[in-house]
Structures are given as structure tokens and as C-alpha cells.
Amino acid sequence: MQRLVMTSIFALGIATAASATVVSEDSPAADNTDSVYEETLDFVGNPVYTSDGEMIGVVSSATTEADGDRMILVTFDDSFNDEYAGWEFELDDKWETTGELTVLWTAEELKGWIDANGALQQEAREAAKVEN
């Protein structure tokens, strides 16, 4: 079975907790030397947890688009979700990582969102294939 990647048109809440630092847009980078691209790459390898502490996967890639948008791909652990490969979303441009990310939803809430949106995204992909 092919595992699909979920995408999010909005950044599902990610809690800062002790895992990320929010800085103002005009603040310099934490070490004053990293570019936005380098700061985005710092997310790769970070574990991702739900608000109730369940590890859902790791950040497997992070990119900075030509327009400056920062995207990360969270690859799901099979134990969290074996139908979808991962979840890609835009990262707020003010975020820097300190080693892990925590989503604001519980595991149950996130699984519900994935189930609801995964079916819609699959339908959209199939409709796009028919049009082409």
C-alpha cells in the first residue's frame, strides 16, 4: 500500500513549550550567523510529539521556498500512523528549533484530523489525475 503525505494549508498549532523559541521578525538569529535556510535545516531530525506526549515521528526534511516560506515534512512513525507517510506544513517564519516540536493537539485529535483530511486530499489527488 502506498503511504501518502498529508499537507496542511494552515500550520496546525505547534507548542513552543521547552522545544522551540519564538523570536520577533526583527530579532537576529540565536547565534547571529545562521541564514533563514540554515535555521530551517536545523529542524531536520527533530522528534515531534503530540500534546499528550506521544511521539508521532521526526522532521525528515525542511526547505525554504523561493518566496521565503519554510516547509517541514514530519515523517510518521509506523506505530503512530501506517496509512500516511507523513505530514508537510508551512513553518512560521519566526520559529527556531531547540531540538523537538510538540503539536498542540493530542494524539487522538491529530489522528482524527489526519483521517478527515487524508480522505479529502486523496480525492483531490485522484480528481487532478483525471483532469490531466
Q: Which residue has the higher pLDDT, 28 or 120?
A: 120
Among the listed residues 15, 25, 21, 29, the one whose alpha carbon sits nearest the alpha carbon of residue 97: 21
List C-alpha distances in Å: 130 to 72, 115, 118, 123, 124: 29, 23, 19, 11, 10
Higher pLDDT, 22 or 121: 121
Taking residues 6-16, what's their average pLDDT? Answer: 45
In the chain, where the domains are located: 4-131
What pLDDT shows up at residue 1?
A: 37
Task: Render pLDDT for 39-57 as a digit per residue (tens, 0 to 9).
Answer: 778 889 999 999 999 999 9
- DSSP assignment, residue 51? T
What pLDDT does 32 receive?
53
pLDDT tens per residue across span 87-132? 888 887 677 777 888 888 899 999 998 888 877 777 777 777 777 6
Burial code (b: 16+ CB inside 10 Å, e: under 16) for 61-98 equals ebebeeeeebebbbbbeeebbeebbbbbbebeeebbbe
| CATH 3.40.50.1000 for domain 4-131 | no
